[in-house]
Chains A and B, each alone.
Chain A
């Protein structure tokens, strides 16, 4: 029999959401066990937020002004205006209750970071400060260390485990280093496992983001929402290989000096966007979707991509003084890997970039207490869906913290209210047997399957989608036979092919959700672009997609607060119209 650990609250993941949830749960009086896939203070997306040089954390300007950081904040702003803007940015698809929770709690978590880092001196503006991802994670890691929280590292989620009454009663993990399965029995379980990046070939995430949390929840029968919404980041390095996946060009692009050129050395934004939208792409926080769309058109439709499948990002200055001014205002560019990247960019007159899978707007359906649809299971951060509707402009770093803050509290209340229910022995036995299947198969190599999944999802559910490609992609994913793939090494210790097999299982489950939900939405909205339905239709599509047990259905999104205007507009024209309504436009 495998080793079983016990806890009142089990937290899965150690990015900002997991760490903040662990702290909340411990402060509420629960015994807490946190299990993470990598190193507790150095795994997950949080570390790479803002290329680990400048990740935005955001709240309303008035609350920001109260932090007393010189030059930051805006007394004339308000939580109401911030709320309004997040709904518009999400193109009216946001779950308003989750947005209220975000807006109300954002000042608290930002204050925690500012108060814990007296030497921070962050830069920012009315609603945001920019700090390295590692500073965020260190803040909460240090806070966690002062609590009695048990941590288990280098262990991947394999399956959620249920009690006899079908509530979630813990989870099965694989200790990746030693190759041993172990179970955790808990009164409440919090998923904080981040995005589903590994479904795609080109991503800005760490190597471990395979969507194991979402996939385990899907297999357990949880409801997912807005799975079709995937944010791509436009300025992600494709070459040289050692920097592939870095978002540094994106982080420094919001200024007047950057240029994007195709393989013929031509600028191309104006070919694909009206001038007003080009201005928005260059100067607004809506740049991700507009730039990705233009890049996609130039590369996929016009065939003007470079050798690495993307375009060239370059910086141009009118004078040496202007260049010096830029570097002085971005001091992190003068050292380490950032300096090397900038040196490369100068020497080669640009660096190859393209749109990478970056942030998953959809995920587990949660209420404002961060309870999922399964009793005993809670979720926080990027693995959830609904907060940002169809487009996240506001900060994911703040999302993970405010949601972790509440999810930890709710989970502790749940766990303290009743004795932990024992894991159903048959459920555990099945989970172990399923995970060990590849050892009994002399089959194909799972690394090949991983590539195949990446190719299918990247082609069918990329920056721009259409019916036939989505149908073909879904058919191809459904035709994959996971059971035909087996491990290539019998030794269980650090068995990469076993890890790949388990990741493939998760990626397939997530991919089905992404593809089915994409097929269900027959319009374009926010980051979701359909070439065959290139319009945003508020008369018929103010609905969220929901996915459970392989089925997709649509539900109206409550428009009581900040209702969308009626009508149907061209996709780009609608974005322009929405931006005009923002309080900061």
Chain B
């Protein structure tokens, strides 16, 4: 078990979550879900009907500057997360 720092763009400014515990084999989606479950129940990211298996293509985020599927991107270190498009609904959720 190691910890990482996660910064999330929420409406233009970054919120930082320090010392988030991560295990080997966690995806960006797993980290977001962990944050929602344990640290911040106001966080919004695409989750309402996600396949979790890189098949639906709906969980796009920008992780460390690169647009990717949250469920298919393994976490290797600190994360900076932004919405993937400019049409932001809330936090990381885009139209």
A residues with a Cβ closer than 8 A to B are 37-39, 42-44, 47-48, 51-52, 133-134, 154, 156, 176-178, 206-208, 239-246, 336-337, 344, 445, 447, 488-489, 491, 493-497, 499
Q: With A241-B27, A242-B25, A242-B26 as known contacts, state yes or no: A493 contacts B50, CB within 8 Å.
A: no
Task: Output the nearest chain A residue to B52 by Cβ-Cβ distance.
Answer: A245
For A47, the chain B residues whose CB sits under 8 A away are 51, 55-56
Q: With A178-B89, A207-B49 as known contacts, state yes or no: A240 contacts B26, CB within 8 Å.
A: yes
Q: With A178-B89, A242-B26 as known contacts, state yes or no: A42 contacts B37, CB within 8 Å.
A: no
* B48 pairs with A37, CB closer than 8 A: yes
Question: Number of A-B pairs whose CB atoms are under 8 Å?
Answer: 106
For A245, the chain B residues whose CB sits under 8 A away are 52-53
* A48 pairs with B43, CB closer than 8 A: no
Task: Output the nearest chain B residue to A132 by Cβ-Cβ distance.
Answer: B55
For B89, the chain A residues whose CB sits under 8 A away are 177-178, 493-494
* B29-45 near A? 1/0 per residue, CB < 8 Å: 11000001100011110
Interchain CA distance A156-B42 in the complex, whole Å: 20
Interchain CA distance A253-B36 in the complex, whole Å: 35
Instruction: Determine if B54 is an interface residue (Cβ-Cβ < 8 Å).
Output: yes
Interchain CA distance A243-B53 in the complex, whole Å: 7
For A336, the chain B residues whose CB sits under 8 A away are 54
Classify the interface of chain A: helix, strand, loop or mixed. loop
* B25 pairs with A243, CB closer than 8 A: yes
Q: With A42-B55, A242-B71 as known contacts, state yes or no: A447 contacts B49, CB within 8 Å.
A: no
Task: Output the nearest chain B residue to A240 by Cβ-Cβ distance.
Answer: B25
For A208, the chain B residues whose CB sits under 8 A away are 48-50
Q: With A134-B55, A206-B49, A494-B89 as known contacts, state yes or no: A445 contacts B74, CB within 8 Å.
A: no
List 17 A-B pairs, Cβ < 8 Å: A39-B49, A42-B56, A42-B58, A43-B49, A134-B55, A177-B95, A208-B48, A240-B25, A242-B26, A242-B29, A242-B72, A344-B25, A447-B37, A489-B41, A491-B90, A494-B90, A495-B44
For B29, the chain A residues whose CB sits under 8 A away are 242
Instruction: Determine if B57 is an interface residue (Cβ-Cβ < 8 Å).
Output: yes
* A38 pairs with B52, CB closer than 8 A: no
When the two chains form the complex, which single residue of B30, B48, B53, B93 contacts A156, counting CB atoms closer than 8 Å? B48
For B55, the chain A residues whose CB sits under 8 A away are 42, 47-48, 52, 133-134
* B54 pairs with A489, CB closer than 8 A: no
Task: Output the nearest chain B residue to A178 by Cβ-Cβ distance.
Answer: B89
Nearest CB on A from B32, distance (A): 11
Q: With A207-B47, A208-B48 as known contacts, state yes or no: A39 contacts B56, CB within 8 Å.
A: yes
* B54 pairs with A48, CB closer than 8 A: no
For chain B, residues 37 to 95, give those with C-beta under 8 angstroms from any C-beta of chain A. Answer: 37, 41-44, 47-58, 71-72, 74, 89-91, 93, 95
Nearest CB on A from B43, distance (A): 7
When the two chains form the complex, which single residue of A38, A48, A242 contacts B48, counting CB atoms closer than 8 Å? A38
* A241 pairs with B48, CB closer than 8 A: no
Instruction: Determine if B16 is an interface residue (Cβ-Cβ < 8 Å).
Output: no
Besides A242-B71, A245-B53, A344-B25, 9 other A-B contacts (C-beta < 8 A): A38-B56, A176-B48, A177-B95, A243-B53, A337-B54, A493-B90, A494-B93, A495-B44, A496-B44
Interchain CA distance A42-B55 in the complex, whole Å: 8
Q: Would you list the 10 A-B pairs with minimal beta carbon distance, nearest first?
A: A240-B25, A38-B49, A208-B49, A242-B27, A42-B56, A241-B30, A494-B93, A43-B49, A494-B44, A207-B50
Interchain CA distance A42-B60 in the complex, whole Å: 14
Interchain CA distance A427-B50 in the complex, whole Å: 32
* A48 pairs with B24, CB closer than 8 A: no
Task: Output the nearest chain B residue to A207 by Cβ-Cβ distance.
Answer: B50
When the two chains form the complex, which single residue of B41, B54, B72 contacts A447, counting CB atoms closer than 8 Å? B41
* A241 pairs with B23, CB closer than 8 A: yes
Task: Output the nearest chain A residue to B43 by Cβ-Cβ distance.
Answer: A496
* A42 pairs with B25, CB closer than 8 A: no
* B74 pairs with A242, CB closer than 8 A: yes
* B7-21 near A? 1/0 per residue, CB < 8 Å: 000000000000000
* B43 pairs with A42, CB closer than 8 A: no
Nearest CB on A from B66, distance (A): 17
For B27, the chain A residues whose CB sits under 8 A away are 241-242
Nearest CB on B from A97, distance (A): 32
Nearest CB on B from A479, distance (A): 23
Task: Output the nearest chain A residue to B42 by Cβ-Cβ distance.
Answer: A489
For B54, the chain A residues whose CB sits under 8 A away are 336-337
Task: Output the nearest chain B residue to A156 by Cβ-Cβ distance.
Answer: B48
For B72, the chain A residues whose CB sits under 8 A away are 242, 337
Nearest CB on A from B63, distance (A): 13
Nearest CB on A from B46, distance (A): 8
* B49 pairs with A241, CB closer than 8 A: no
* B41 pairs with A499, CB closer than 8 A: no
For B25, the chain A residues whose CB sits under 8 A away are 239-243, 344
Interchain CA distance A447-B30 in the complex, whole Å: 16
For A493, the chain B residues whose CB sits under 8 A away are 89-90
